[in-house]
Structure 1
Amino acid sequence: MAQHNAQQHTAKASGGEQYFNATPSSPDVRVAHEFSVRDHDVTVQTSHGVFSADRVDLGTRVLLRHAPELPATGNFLDLGCGWGPISLAMALDAPEAAIYAVDVNERSIDLTKANAVANNCSNIHAGKAEDVPADMQFDRIWSNPPIRIGKDALHELLMTWLPRLTVDGYAYLVVQKNLGADSLMPWLAQQLGEHYEVSKYASSKGYRVIEVHRLAA
């Protein structure tokens, strides 16, 4: 039963909405929480209508536990930021880096902005995809991607952003094994081509952490 509930939790936002709705219709009732992200204690606000509103979800915890140390500087992307746990972890691990937090959900973006301010993370820049400079490339991409948007939409999302890795840049994606992680890896390798390496970086609690490395041309 616990596993079933956890899977249902990943599918919908708090309040029963799909978390990838651009404008949630549920009431925006802010609730304060204290969490730990990569050994940083943070105080955050969450709300209905966003992904995993009452916790740091298991997939994100797996990603944050296993993703390697970040460079001290660079441009980093949190793709599908929710209320901001990955962005906060990146920003606190690498305070000299610029963190771009992207989501379609306007409430998620507002929460990430508020949580960045609350935790003194002035290096977090939260917004929609179109708010990111079109020519920007990223040294690191971390993502718990929104699998529930459907395969075609997910593939389009990943192929929009992964080619924006810098040369020798890395992406780390956490995907549930029973939601297609093992089939996603060869698909990414085929689509990205010979200048990228795609591999399984870690496995934990039913999740895969997928590493994508952009090689020199």
Structure 2
Amino acid sequence: MELTFGQGQVFTSERLNKYPILASIFRKTFGYSNVGNYARFTIFKKLVKGIELPETGNFLDLGTGYGEYALSLASALPKAKIHALDIDQSRINAVQSAIESLTVENIKTHRIKIEYTDLEMLDFIFTIDVFEHIAPEEMPFSECYKKLKPGGYFLVKIPSKIQRTIFPERLFEEHHEWLEDEHIGQVYELEGLSQRFKDEGFNVIHASYSDGWLSRLGWETAYLGKKIGILGQLITLPLAKIMIHLDRIIHHNKWGNAIQVIGQKPL
């Protein structure tokens, strides 16, 4: 199974939607333009390789956003059924537009909380950088446990509670203010997230850190380049992606700005 990323961006991005010809040229030249999402996908791709996903499985992208992970899985596993769930109607509209434009037939969208769906016996549920936006007591661990079939997998990736930066933090004040409002659930380090899985009844089969110094440098470089303008973004985007890939090669599992845990529902 080979996962590719960014198929839907030209259809879900308002800016790229306005200029389809330029968007196509940009994508062919520079690839996916959101460095944060690109970095997340490199981790997702690596983690999924360690899970035995059935070709005809039933999967849920919980908090799908613009649906990039769902679209990637749908393309790699055309016989599988992919569910893309989000409570934001505008996001679901964007995903639905991408599905129709790409003529994808194995994704179903849901704008509803997971506990109110009729989904059951799922093989795999994953949520990528979503739970940090939810208060810990409202994170749907138990609901996911119920929706999985015995032996099914649950993957959670979130930013770790403690973040390390490279450039002076004053350069990211605007971003930090946004984090304070949005990341109410950024409360776990790796041990704590693993324990949450165990408390909810899962067997933890994987727990790791990601996004070390090089990945952080890549993100900070791209963030500052984007603040300069389109030229700054174009210059820093390839450099940031190179640093992210180097980080995936040399980073050791001792610390990281992101954490990810995979739990399995007992048979």
Same fold (TM over 0.5): yes
Please name the residue that 1:140 is paired with.
124
The CA deviation string for residues 70-109 of structure 1, in whole angstroms up to 9 with x for no partner, is 3201210000000101101111121101111111100111
Out of 36, 59, 67, the position equivalent to 2:48 is: 67
State how far apart, in whole Å, the 1-side matches of 2:194 and 2:111 are: 26
User: Does the C-alpha gap of structure 1 residues 40 and 190 become closer, same or farther in structure 2, counting only changes over 3 Å?
Assistant: closer
Please name the residue that 2:155 is paired with.
172
The CA deviation string for residues 167-189 of structure 1, in whole angstroms up to 9 with x for no partner, is 11112211222231421220221
User: Does the C-alpha gap of structure 1 residues 76 and 62 become closer, same or farther in structure 2, counting only changes over 3 Å?
Assistant: same
Structure 2 unaligned segments of length 5 or more: list them: 15-32, 162-185, 212-256
Q: Is the 8 A contact 1:40 1:92 kept in 2?
A: no
Please report the TM-score for the alignment, with normalisation by the length of structure 2.
0.57
More strand by share: 1
1:77 paired to 2:60: yes
The CA deviation string for residues 123-179 of structure 1, in whole angstroms up to 9 with x for no partner, is 00011236975252200112113312222222xx22212321111111221122223
1:46 paired to 2:12: yes
Q: Is the 8 A contact 1:72 1:96 kept in 2?
A: yes
Runs of 4+ in 1 over 4 A off after TM superposition: 130-133
Please name the residue that 1:102 is paired with.
85
Look up the equivalent residue of 2:147 and give its one-letter code: R
Please name the residue that 1:203 is paired with.
209
The percent of aligned pairs where both chains have the same amino acid is 19
The CA deviation string for residues 21-48 of structure 1, in whole angstroms up to 9 with x for no partner, is xxxxxxxxxxxxxxxx933561432357
Please report the TM-score for the alignment, with normalisation by the length of structure 1.
0.68
Out of 37, 44, 58, the position equivalent to 2:39 is: 58
More helix by share: 2
User: Does the C-alpha gap of structure 1 residues 43 and 102 become closer, same or farther in structure 2, counting only changes over 3 Å?
Assistant: closer
The CA deviation string for residues 46-80 of structure 1, in whole angstroms up to 9 with x for no partner, is 357xxxxx622533442233222632012100000
State how far apart, in whole Å, the 1-side matches of 2:206 and 2:117 are: 30
Q: Is the 8 A contact 1:91 1:97 kept in 2?
A: yes
Matched position secondary structure for 1:89: helix
Matched position secondary structure for 1:129: coil
Please name the residue that 1:162 is paired with.
145
User: Does the C-alpha gap of structure 1 residues 82 and 135 become closer, same or farther in structure 2, counting only changes over 3 Å?
Assistant: closer
Q: Larger Cα Rg: Structure 1 or Structure 2? A: 2
Q: Is the 8 A contact 1:63 1:209 kept in 2?
A: no
State how far apart, in whole Å, the 1-side matches of 2:47 and 2:152 are: 17
C-alpha RMSD of the superposition: 2.6
